[in-house]
């Protein structure tokens, strides 16, 4: 993988936010995150651009992971797990 401008853990949040924005820009996006581009900012854009062709794989896997986790959450809520841990 090419050198990236990732300097610390916080930079990975900017990278992921940019990847979420890129997914949301596709006409057939699996999800949309309207705030992700704002969070990613110029730093996130530069990090993803530095990945070159590897950004495609990274963005694709992020989109799939998001959809899978969202499905688990929706199933859990439908099964009544949304109230688990709440005090009455």
Q: Is 1 exposed, middle or buried (0-12, 13-18, 19+ CB in 10 A)?
A: exposed
Residue 55: alpha-carbon gap to chain centroid = 12
Residue 84: is its pLDDT beyond 60? no
In a domain, residue 86? The reply is no
Q: What pLDDT sits at residue 23?
A: 95
| Helices 36-50, 54-78: inter-axial angle, 10-degree rounding | 140
C-alpha separations of 28 from 52, 56, 63, 87 in Å: 22, 15, 12, 41
Q: What is the pLDDT of residue 86?
A: 54
Percent of residues, the chain, with pLDDT higher than 70: 88
The tally of domains found in the chain comes to: 1
Query: pLDDT-based confidence at 88, cuts 50/70/90?
Result: very low
Query: Which domain covers residue 46, as residue numbers?
Result: 9-79
């Amino acid at each position: 993988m090419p050198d990236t401008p990732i300097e610390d853990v916080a930079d990975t949040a900017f990278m992921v936010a940019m990847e979420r924005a890129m997914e949301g820009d596709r006409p057939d996006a699996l999800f949309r995150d309207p705030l992700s581009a704002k969070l990613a900012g110029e730093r996130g854009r530069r990090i993803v651009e530095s990945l070159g062709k590897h950004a495609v794989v990274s963005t694709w896997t992020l989109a799939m992971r998001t959809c899978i986790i969202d499905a688990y959450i929706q199933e859990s809520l439908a099964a009544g797990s949304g109230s688990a841990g709440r005090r009455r």
